Amino acid sequence: SQQGEEDPQALSIQEGENATMNCSYKTSINNLQWYRQNSGRGLVHLILIRSNEREKHSGRLRVTLDTSKKSSSLLITASRAADTASYFCATDSNSGNTPLVFGKGTRLSVIA
Amino acid sequence: ETGVTQSPTHLIKTRGQQVTLRCSSQSGHNTVSWYQQALGQGPQFIFQYYREEENGRGNFPPRFSGLQFPNYSSELNVNALELDDSALYLCASSWGLANSYNEQFFGPGTRLTVL
């Protein structure tokens, strides 16, 4: 069952610009995670934000969580070509069988 | 790079065949989860193994099965392959059950093509 849905599906920006990706979910959550995936490779964990947190930073990454709107955003500041990847949010499932559900991802292209 | 390894990297099979994919978890991790990722989609949870026992299964048929060994490495077996099984198969390890509380450490994946 799909819980998180990222928006936009694809994003293309110039190097140095900021990139913002959004994730919406349907039911209440405990935590929300963001992952990055370089083309056809494994996912890398970026950041975890708890349901009682509103904002979290890690280097050039800033994640916000709005539980009233059931949404989260990932901001990458001063983007680099190396940031080109797909970005996924993952959170609790609304199905008892699946502990963690990933969205379909946002494909980010950073043009040098 | 995580300490999770997967083999093989690529695999081509024909419909009806059986396949075994392997995963070595990161040192110190006791849980391995398997995911199927179709092209352009997010990873879909297949199942996870915690201390050698299956602990949670997603919406996948019984022809998807697995094992976890005492050293916490794992295998994913798929019988009677179908064309729709073509995907990137990812394993992830963690300390504790896979859920939103725990960071998942992913391997590079096995690309399976079913002809």
Binned at pLDDT 50, 70 and 90, residue A39 comes out as confident
- Residues in chain A closer than 8 A to B40 (CB atoms): 104
Asked whether the beta carbons of residue A45 and residue B105 sit closer than 8 angstroms, the reply is yes
> From B38, which residue of chain A is nearest by alpha-carbon distance?
A104
The beta-carbon neighbor of A91 closest among B40, B41, B100 is B100
Residues A32 and A91: beta-carbon distance below 8 Å: yes
CA distance A5 to chain B (A): 10
Give pLDDT tens digits for A55-76.
Answer: 999 999 999 999 999 999 999 9
- At residue A44, the pLDDT reads 96
CA distance A41 to chain B (A): 5
Contact present, A20 and A73 (Cβ < 8 Å) = yes
Q: Could you read off the pLDDT of B61-113 as tens digits, one per residue?
A: 999 999 999 988 999 999 999 999 999 999 999 998 888 888 999 999 999 99
Which has the closest alpha carbon to A106: A72, A70, A69, A65?
A72
Residue-wise pLDDT for B30-70, tens only, equals 999 999 999 999 999 999 999 899 998 999 999 999 999 99
